[in-house]
Amino acid sequence: MIPKLLGKVGRNWKAKLVSLIIASIFYVNLQNSKVLIKTINVPVDYPKLSGNLNYSKNPEKTIPVRVEGLKDVVNYYSQFMKAVIDPEDVQLGVTEVPIKKIVGVPSGVKVTKLKKTVPVEIESRGLKVVPLEVVFEGAPPPNFEKLTQIVSPQKVTLSGKPQDLEKITKVILPEISLIDKKEPFAKTVRIPDLPKGVSVLGSRDVTVNVNIIPLSYKTGEQTAAGIPIVCSGSDARLDAELSEEQVAIRYFSLKPIRSAQILTGITAQVPCNYIFDPIKNKIIPELQPQVAKVRIIKSKDLKGIEILQISPEKIEIRYKVKEQQNPDSDPTDDGTGMEGPGTVPSDRS
Q: According to the model, what pLDDT value does residue 334 have?
A: 40
Those residues with Cβ within 8 angstroms of residue 153's Cβ, 6 or more apart along the chain or in another chain: 132, 206
What is the predicted pLDDT for the residue at 86?
85
Q: So what's the pLDDT on residue 346?
A: 37
Q: Which domains are delineated in the chain?
A: 33-123 (2.170.120.30), 126-214 (2.170.120.40), 219-321 (2.170.120.30)
- Distance spanning both ends of the chain, measured CA to CA: 129
At 65-102, the pLDDT tens digits run: 999 988 888 888 888 899 988 888 887 778 888 988 89
Q: Phi, psi (5° rounding) for residue 302?
A: -115, 20
pLDDT score at 160: 83
- How many whole angstroms separate alpha carbon 30 and alpha carbon 19? 16
> Which residues, 6+ apart, have CB-to-CB distance to 24 below 8 Å?
none
Cβ atoms of 325 and 331 within 8 Å: the answer is yes
Q: What is the pTM of this model?
A: 0.46
Look at residue 199 in the predicted model and tell me its pLDDT: 86
Question: What pLDDT score was predicted for residue 161?
Answer: 80
CA angle 320, 321, 327 (to 5 degrees): 165
Residue 298, classified by CB atoms within 10 Å of its CB into exposed (0-12), middle (13-18) or buried (19+), is: buried
Cα–Cα dist 341/197, whole Å: 32
Interatomic CA distance for residues 215 and 301, integer angstroms: 18
Q: Report which of 156, 127, 92 is spatially closest to residue 329, judged by C-alpha positions.
A: 127
Q: Which residues of the chain have pLDDT under 50?
A: 30, 325-349
pLDDT digits (tens, 9 = 90+) for 210-220: 988 777 666 78
pLDDT of residue 128: 87
